[in-house]
Amino acid sequence: MKPASGGIAAALVTVLGACSPDTVDKGPPPPDASAGFDTGVDGFGNLDTATGPATVGPPTGKPPQDLQCDLNGRWLVSQRVLAAALGQEQVAHNWFYYEVRHEGAEVIVTKGLHCGYEVVKKSALSASVDSSAAWPAFLMKNSSTGRRGTFVKEGAGCHLTLQREYVVRGATVGHYANPAVPLPTRTEPALGATPGWEDWDADGNPGISLVVTSALAGGTLYVCQRDWNEYDGATQPAPKLKVAVRYSGEQAALGRSAGAPQVIESTSAPSSDPAQHYAWWHRLADGAATGSDAEICAAVRTLRNTLVPEANE
């Protein structure tokens, strides 16, 4: 497995992207709530870029290629990555719900919900981050539906791959899912058909609002983010498996709350140790994590503590 990219890691929300730091307390007034949202696949159309929801297509009825390696079913996915900012380590936990169809060697996510993320400090002076105000928007505007990969036998175990997926938060998804497009600055709100940052948590501030807490500084940071991840690694057969993750990303600071120091915008980078980036999958039992999408995600966030506590490290 290759090391994680040397780029900045948007999953850890003390990341500052290419945009210049903003020293005002908050951005301009948010645009009209009717500003467009595009969920289409980006313009590349190849297998290592997925922004969802994409077309799934009808089932073929073909069984998995290797019966010992069968990914069919409903899955709780808890992803864990490690990064460092100002010499201090932080862990980001992302939570997903996947419904997977497995035919031959190919797997496809027929329903993929983004249930939220948190950042937890790993060293004394690092920061923890609460993004929960934006979780409903993640669920509504981000999707892994249509994501594809493979799951086949390898030695005594299996090998899982999932194509690269770009995730945009706090900005017009269909436009900024293209990694060649720079993230918007504070002066570029989405207006009508014009893409830009969007007030995803409806709090009157641009982008998503992240509550940063550390021993040295704290406050609320307003940002938009774009990150990517891909899965590729040997793993054990179901019903519970661990797979290696590669990821990177970027973040644009759009402002911060009154009195919050600029240090909360400090950059971070992925750990160079590939063993620090992984995801745990657990097949869900019938009756577990059911109901509306919001109810499913609430159950995923609760069940991950008991089904895959290893991902909380």
Q: pLDDT (tens digit, 9 = 90+) per residue, 203-250?
A: 999 999 999 988 777 899 999 999 999 999 999 987 999 999 999 989
Span 34-53, mean pLDDT?
A: 36
More confident residue, 87 or 276: 276
Quote the CA–CA distance of 246 and 3 in Å, as a whole number: 7
Which DSSP symbol is given to 32? P
Span 25-36, mean pLDDT?
A: 34
Span 275-284, mean pLDDT?
A: 97
| Contact call for residues 222 and 205 (beta carbons, < 8 A) | yes
Write out the two tokens for 121. 């400090």
Write the CB contacts of 116 (distance below 8 Å, at least 6 apart in sequence).
Answer: 94, 95, 131, 132, 135, 138, 139, 297, 301
Span 4-26, mean pLDDT?
A: 33
Residue with tokens 């035919």: 103
pLDDT at 36 over 70: no
Quote the CA–CA distance of 61 and 208 in Å, as a whole number: 42
Quote the CA–CA distance of 247 and 203 in Å, as a whole number: 29
Confidence of residue 51 (pLDDT cuts 50, 70, 90): low
| pTM for the predicted model, two decimal places | 0.84
Which residue, 134, 132, 94, 143, is CA-closest to 279? 94
More confident residue, 268 or 241: 241
Count CB-CB contacts under 10 A for residue 274.
16
Write the CB contacts of 287 (distance below 8 Å, at least 6 apart in sequence).
Answer: none
Up-side HSE of residue 269: CA atoms within 13 Å toward CB? Answer: 8
**Range from 41-55, 108-122, 145-159, 258-272 carrying the lowest mean pLDDT:** 41-55
Quote the CA–CA distance of 118 and 165 in Å, as a whole number: 19
Handedness of CA 272, 274, 280, 281 (dihedral sign): positive
What percent of the chain has a predicted confidence (pLDDT) above 90?
67
Write out the two tokens for 261. 């120091």
Q: Biggest alpha carbon distance in the chain?
A: 59
Confidence of residue 253 (pLDDT cuts 50, 70, 90): very high
| Contact call for residues 297 and 115 (beta carbons, < 8 A) | yes
pLDDT tens-digit readout, 152-211? 999 999 999 999 999 999 999 999 999 999 999 999 999 999 999 999 999 999 999 999
| Contact call for residues 183 and 19 (beta carbons, < 8 A) | yes
